[in-house]
Amino acid sequence: MEMKKILLCCGAGMSSGFLAQRTRQAAKKEGIAVSIEARSIADIASYMSSIDILMIGPHYGNELGKFEDMASPYNVPVVVIPQIVYSQLKGDELLKLALETIDESK
């Protein structure tokens, strides 16, 4: 399995940073090769051509269409991170959601 590149985004990248760390731990435990970055919403454009999925914080859910428009030229799926996964830092659930979404988008 080739390494999957996951980009998590929130307002400043702080909250998503904690979730990225938990997700890396879950991937390591499962032996899954992933690259998980946590960045600010302002940084998304510079990553779009090099990621497999964009996952945005639940507080940006109402802007999903805007992010889908940005990602569409790159065939990158965009997912709003479920509130429970985001707030409770459920890295294992985020990893599962990311990998399933990437597989479904191929």
pLDDT at 41: 87
Q: How confident is the model at residue 1 (pLDDT cuts 50, 70, 90)?
A: low
pLDDT at 10: 84
pLDDT at 29: 97
pLDDT at 93: 98
Could you give all domains of the chain from N- to C-terminal order, each with its CATH number?
Answer: 4-105 (3.40.50.2300)
In the predicted structure, residue 5 carries a pLDDT above the cut 70? yes
Residue closest to 101 by CA, chosen among 70, 68, 73: 68
Distance CA 14, CA 54 (A): 16
If one counts every other C-beta atom within 10 angstroms of the C-beta of residue 75, the result is 9
pLDDT at 50: 96
In the predicted structure, residue 2 carries a pLDDT above the cut 90? no
Distance CA 8, CA 40 (A): 8
